[in-house]
Amino acid sequence: MKFADIRKLGFDTETTGPNPLEDRIVTAALVVRGGGRDDKDMSWLINPGVPIPPGATEVHGITDEKAAEGADPKEALDDIAENLAAALRYGMPVVAFNLSFDWTVLACDLARYGLPSMADRLPGVRALPLVDPHVIDRQCVQRLRGKGMRKLKPTAERYGVVLEDWHTAEADALAALLIAEAQFAKYARQLGAMGPQQLFAAQKAWRAEQQAGLQEWFRTKATAEQGGDPNKVIDGSWPLIPAPREGGES
């Protein structure tokens, strides 16, 4: 069966900032698509309990005043995690663009409120059916000219995906699904031959290699204006970015 035809779930979060280890979820969306059934959308507005920086508000449009109308974070986060776990227990692929960000920010938020982790909710499951179109794109299209072309919107456009309301969690979750469908159609020989366990292992390896290459670029080629630093460290973990060890080591 083609990837476009199976039932799968898109996942996206909008947060208080760009650091998944420290920032908090403000909005989240799950979009279920395929399998010969109607699409199903679930979304949450969450009160993160901390001020939302202006830069984050510029991205997703959620102000402190709007967030104050949101759900209790403990209840909302538990609901999000349980819906994800239910899909994964069923064997439904979960798709997120730059998945390690969303997976990690959720993990940190769950821990912050003393809620069961995704691993706790999925005992004995090692190779989850997770799909990251960002990692797949970087593997299948290794040379790409132009600044910012790996971001969600330009990536979507390269795969013929056109949406409105970018940077809402719902739109971004749907975009991730549509990009993945296009990738599995375009790279059917490479991706279609893999089962969930093989794809999980492949994405884990691809991400590590990709981030190692990016780290080397920052250390040896990037200018100071580009953030060049001979001691730059970029973590290549996937799908979960670990917290830094004490003493500043990653």
pLDDT of 120-166, one tens digit each?
999 988 779 999 999 999 999 988 888 889 999 999 999 999 887 77
Give the residues across from 32 on adjacent strands.
Answer: 9, 40
Length reported for the chain: 250
Flag whether 246 is in a domain: no
Same-domain check for residues 186 and 204? no
Same-domain check for residues 58 and 147? yes
Q: Which domain holds residue 201?
A: 194-234
Provide Rg for the chain, Cα atoms.
Answer: 18
Flag whether 250 is in a domain: no
Flag whether 239 is in a domain: no
Same-domain check for residues 18 and 121? yes
Same-domain check for residues 97 and 218? no
The pLDDT confidence band at residue 245, using thresholds 50, 70 and 90, is low
Report if pTM > 0.75: yes
Same-domain check for residues 189 and 214? no
Same-domain check for residues 183 and 215? no
Same-domain check for residues 161 and 179? yes
Q: How many angstroms separate the CA atoms of 103 and 12, rounded?
A: 9
Q: What is the pLDDT of residue 250?
A: 37
Q: What is the pLDDT of residue 76?
A: 98
Flag whether 89 is in a domain: yes
The pLDDT confidence band at residue 249, using thresholds 50, 70 and 90, is very low
CB 8 within 8 A of CB 150: no
Q: Work out the average pLDDT over 96-105.
A: 98
As for how many domains the chain has, the answer is 2
Share of the chain above pLDDT 70, in %: 98
Same-domain check for residues 154 and 101? yes
Q: How many angstroms separate the CA atoms of 173 and 41, rounded?
A: 10
Flag whether 240 is in a domain: no
The pLDDT confidence band at residue 246, using thresholds 50, 70 and 90, is low
Flag whether 242 is in a domain: no
CB 200 within 8 A of CB 209: no
For 25-50, how does the pLDDT look when each residue is reduced to its tens digit (9 = 90+)?
999 999 999 999 999 999 999 999 99
Same-domain check for residues 200 and 131? no
Flag whether 241 is in a domain: no
Same-domain check for residues 136 and 203? no
Whether the pLDDT of residue 242 is over 80: the answer is yes
Same-domain check for residues 22 and 78? yes
Q: How many angstroms separate the CA atoms of 228 and 82, rounded?
A: 41
Same-domain check for residues 152 and 220? no
Higher-pLDDT residue of 146, 111: 111
Q: What is the pLDDT of residue 244?
A: 75
Q: What is the pLDDT of residue 126?
A: 74
Place of tokens 């790996």: 150
CATH number at residue 82: 3.30.420.10
Flag whether 166 is in a domain: yes
User: How confident is the prediction for the chain on average, in pLDDT?
Assistant: 94
